[in-house]
Amino acid sequence: MPNDQAGNSAEKVSVANEMGTLYPMPNLIVIPLSTFNKQNDFGDKAIMKRHISDSFEAERNYIRSSRMIFIFERDDFNCGLALKVLLDNWASTEINVEYTQG
């Protein structure tokens, strides 16, 4: 997938403030940025939980790879909260979960 197409897709996700997927090519799930334009969800645990929960639902229902890698490495994304929500709620899932933290 060309970088401009991936960038446009990621921007659409953040504008809509809803998790999105680029499935089937590539098997990629995108979570909206915590701060984007006038939107500021930084610190909102309920919204982060919804985004991560939706990501797991997309994996289970569509992608079905049984493996998810979360990359938490952006200043405009609440990486600490995302990691906390991930570890608090999905540590015992049937999906192999990995993450990076910048």
Q: What is the rounded CA–CA span in Å between residue 24 and residue 65?
A: 11
Separation between Cα atoms, residue 16 and residue 9, nearest integer Å: 11
- The region of weakest confidence among 6-10, 13-17, 71-75 is 6-10
d(CA 70, CA 56): 11
**Mean residue pLDDT across the chain:** 80
pLDDT band at 1 (very low <50, low <70, confident <90, very high): low
Summarised one tens digit per residue, pLDDT across range 49-72 is 988 888 898 888 888 988 888 888
Per-residue pLDDT at 5 exceeds 70: no
State what percent of residues in the chain have pLDDT above 70: 80
Write the single-letter amino acid at 15: V
pLDDT in tens, 39-53: 788 888 998 898 888
Q: What global pTM score does this model have?
A: 0.75
